Chains A and B, each alone.
Chain A
Amino acid sequence: GENVEQHPSTLSVQEGDSAVIKCTYSDSASNYFPWYKQELGKGPQLIIDIRSNVGEKKDQRIAVTLNKTAKHFSLHITETQPEDSAVYFCAAGSGTSYGKLTFGQGTILTVHP
């Protein structure tokens, strides 16, 4: 089955700096790569996603890049703000199973004012 590795496990930045989180996946059949933000005691919220026919996608301060050959994708957050502090999860969706996602281990992002 699919295996998703996420790094780093914790990331501490100063407000205004950029943050980058990286994930690798194992199943070449995966074609959907979402990123979720989870705040304490809440369910994950989708912040951005990318599909295998696109190399990069941007939404304001958030961007995701995908390298299908190397089987890795990354989340980039620019101009970080304290409210960006949360746990971020990457995931990979297999095209062989409707909607099924495998999650990475998570990254605790702390943005210091």
Chain B
Amino acid sequence: GAVVSQHPSWVICKSGTSVKIECRSLDFQATTMFWYRQFPKQSLMLMATSNEGSKATYEQGVEKDKFLINHASLTLSTLTVTSAHPEDSSFYICSAPLAGVNEQFFGPGTRLTVL
């Protein structure tokens, strides 16, 4: 149990386009999901907290107008990278905690490459 999936697993896009990444909790409901970004050989940096039915909470330094988050259901959160640029190329990972505990389950990640 407690499986989180992401789609797509990798994506290549041209500079200036927008890319949507989906995060799904497959066998549990998640009122909260987290989005992380990981640059090569670096740690996971929390970008934002996605809340079902309300606005996301962004970490300091993360542009909310560039990284649009929508948590429309209890099993799906989406991250849209708008007007992507090469510096947005990274590994994007989502996670979801089980209700009532701090334990998080991570998705497999999405590799974004912006040309």
Task: List the interface of chain A (C-beta within 8 A of B).
Answer: 31-32, 34, 36, 41-46, 49, 89, 93, 98-106
Q: A105-B43, A106-B43 are in contact. Are A99 and B104 (CB under 8 A)?
A: yes
Q: How far is A44 from B42 in the complex, measured between Cα atoms in Å?
A: 13
Q: Which residues of A lie under 8 Å from residue B106 when comparing CB positions? A: 36, 43-46
Q: How far is A103 from B45 in the complex, measured between Cα atoms in Å?
A: 7
The number of inter-chain residue pairs (CB within 8 angstroms) is: 56
Q: Which residues of B lie under 8 Å from residue A44 when comparing CB positions? A: 44, 93, 106
Pick from B34, B42, B43, B107: contact of A99, CB below 8 A.
B34
- Is there a chain A Cβ closer than 8 Å to B68's Cβ? no
Interface of B: prevailing SS: strand
Q: A32-B102, A100-B34 are in contact. Are A41 and B109 (CB under 8 A)?
A: yes
Q: How far is A36 from B34 in the complex, measured between Cα atoms in Å?
A: 16
Pick from A45, A98, A102, A104: contact of B97, CB below 8 A.
A98
Q: How far is A98 from B102 in the complex, measured between Cα atoms in Å?
A: 7
Q: How far is A40 from B24 in the complex, measured between Cα atoms in Å?
A: 22
Pick from A43, A89, A100: contact of B43, CB below 8 A.
A89
Q: How far is A89 from B109 in the complex, measured between Cα atoms in Å?
A: 16
Closest to A9 in B: B41
Q: Is the pair B102, A43 in contact by a Cβ cutoff of 8 Å? A: no
Q: Is the pair B108, A42 in contact by a Cβ cutoff of 8 Å? A: yes
| Residue-wise interface mask of B (80-115) relative to A, using a CB-CB cutoff of 8 A (1 in contact, 0 not) | 000000000001010101000011111111010000
Q: Which residues of A lie under 8 Å from residue B95 when comparing CB positions? A: 43
- Is there a chain A Cβ closer than 8 Å to B78's Cβ? no
